[in-house]
Amino acid sequence: MKNYKHSWAEPYKIKMVELLRMTTRAQRLKAIKEAGFNTFLLRSEDVYIDLLTDSGTSAMSDRQWAGMMMGDESYAGSRNFYHLENAVQKNYGYKYLIPTHQGRGAENILSKVLIKPGDIVPGNMYFTTTRLHQELAGATFVDVIIDEAHDPLNEHPFKGNVDLNKLEKVVQEHGTGKIPYISIATSVNMAGGQPISMANLRELRAFTAKHGIRIIHDMTRVAENAHFIQKREAGYAQKSIREIVKEICSYTDGATMSAKKDALVNIGGFMATNEWEVFEEARNLVVVYEGLHTYGGLAGRDMEAMAIGIEESLDDNHIHARVGQVEYLGHLMESYGVPIVRPIGGHGIFVDAKRFLPHLSQDEFPAQTLAAEIFLDSGVRTMERGVVSAGRKANGENYYPKLELVRFTIPRRVYTQAHMDVIAESALNVLKRAKRIKGLQMVYEPKYLRFFQARFERLF
């Protein structure tokens, strides 16, 4: 077999370990039944390798832990807030910072500040919490990502790009007065961690400047996006991740961030803006929903860990090893014939459940089924990203997304290459008996973000 190990060995060594519990198939069957065949409802003690998410699951460095000891837990004006503010201004270039407990806290405040009922928010593919906050504030989200993003086999190097013709149409149809901002994610999560190019961002900036529309940047995985720009876009091979990240941010007017991903912390997030009026209103709202504007629902120690994590996340060696590990797993799965989304993205491998279980209709929840089967096989926990995650429209109809995926998300600095081998082998084991796998039916459906708490039963 081809040797996929490139020169990306981890730029750290392991100082402390957390023991894992190994289970039998009988124990896993009991656990997944109790969880209603929903991997979100499993107890983590029943999980062997946890690839549910890369959110809040990173291993912090010794420096971050040392920073935790330097927490200034004053109610107001904590010194850690000023460290964080400095890290955001210096590395991302945004002027004003509002800390929040995590990404969706920032999305809530931003949506409340910028959206009026009846507004339209175009964006490069939806994200669950982002779209929900836009909708709760009265807006309708319109997807303007390029068509290639909806095709798991298309090899476009920047599947996160915006189709400017689609965007132009939205502007023509609704008028700029109804579009408070364009919602642009770097490393588009639901498309498979796919990057947006710098050229596309520049075009977008020119377009929005002409029409007087803001760009709001979901920068949750901006460093991973910068890695792909460095590797794939002409003119960036010699630029550092830090420089590329700063340039990306410079084309946007504000941002929301879940620091639980790229920024290597277990909890935290923020909203940032270059506009004083937006900042003023957000600073006022944050005290209603999160906490005082110098802590936003976080402890001082959390802000310190975030400030240090931001710095570490922009190190070239870190990001190359991080994406290198994801690519290692992806190449291994491909060599086993497991159908995955191409090109391989930044934060995980997205297995195409439609091709893996072609005999199941989308109403039988192929991705939900496959996630349950992977867990049963090996105790590896993954996440559905298909029809269950997409939820329902305001009129109650199901969204039927083209992508029906299972996300094998890789936490940062947590698992080893040997874990990757075991994960790929489990996908292969399940693939071997794919034809015999039956689908699921949903027996409980919560109103909001149903995928978190929905319950299923096996179809026989």
Q: Which residues bind ligand P61 (CB under 6 A)?
A: 53, 55, 102-104, 127-130, 185, 189, 218, 220, 258, 260, 269, 383, 389
Cβ at position 240, least distance to ligand P61 in Å: 23
Q: Closer to ligand P61 by CB, 28 or 221: give it.
A: 221
| C-alpha neighbours within 13 Å on the C-beta side of residue 38 | 19
Q: Which is nearer to ligand P61, 185 or 376 (CB)?
A: 185
Q: Please say if 127 is a catalytic residue.
A: yes
Q: Which of 127, 236, 365, 375 is catalytic?
A: 127
In the complex with ligand P61, the residue whose CB is nearer, 220 or 382, is: 220
For residue 27, the minimal CB distance to ligand P61 (Å) is 25
For residues 153-191, b (16+ Cβ closer than 10 Å) or e, as one string? Answer: eeebebbbbbbeebbeebbeebeeebbbbbbbbbbbbbb
Catalytic residue check, 369: no
CB of 420 to ligand P61, least distance (A): 19
CA 385 – CA 401 distance, rounded (Å): 9
Give the residue with the Cβ less far from ligand P61, 129 or 194: 129
Residue of minimal Cβ distance to ligand P61 = 103
Integer Cα distance of 302 and 434 in angstroms: 44
Nearer to ligand P61, 268 or 431 (CB): 268
Active-site residue, 75 included: yes
Number of Cβ within a 10 Å radius of residue 240: 14
- Nearer to ligand P61 (CB atom), residue 385 or residue 419: 385
Residue 218 designated active-site: yes
Of 246, 261, 412, 413, catalytic: 261
Q: 50, 218, 253, 262: which one is catalytic?
A: 218
128 is catalytic: yes
Q: In the bound complex, what is the minimum distance in angstroms from residue 436's beta carbon to ligand P61?
A: 28
Q: Mark whether 356 is an active-site residue.
A: no
**Residue 100 in contact with residue 272, Cβ under 8 Å?**
no
Residue 385 among the catalytic residues? yes
Cα 405–chain centre separation: 14
CA 402/CA 367 separation, integer angstroms: 12
Residue 72, both tokens = 């200034």
* Opening angle at CA 125, ends 387 and 267, nearest 5: 85
Distance CA 101, CA 433 (A): 43
Tell me the pairing of strands 49-50 and 383-385.
unpaired
Dihedral of alpha carbons 364, 368, 372, 373, sign: positive
Least gap, CB of 106 to ligand P61 (angstroms): 8
In this structure, what DSSP letter does residue 162 have? B
In whole angstroms, how close is the CB of 78 to ligand P61 at the nearest point? 21
Residue 450 has which token pair?
A: 């149903």
Q: Active-site residue among 39, 100, 128, 186? A: 128
Q: Which residues are catalytic?
A: 75, 127-128, 218, 261, 385, 451
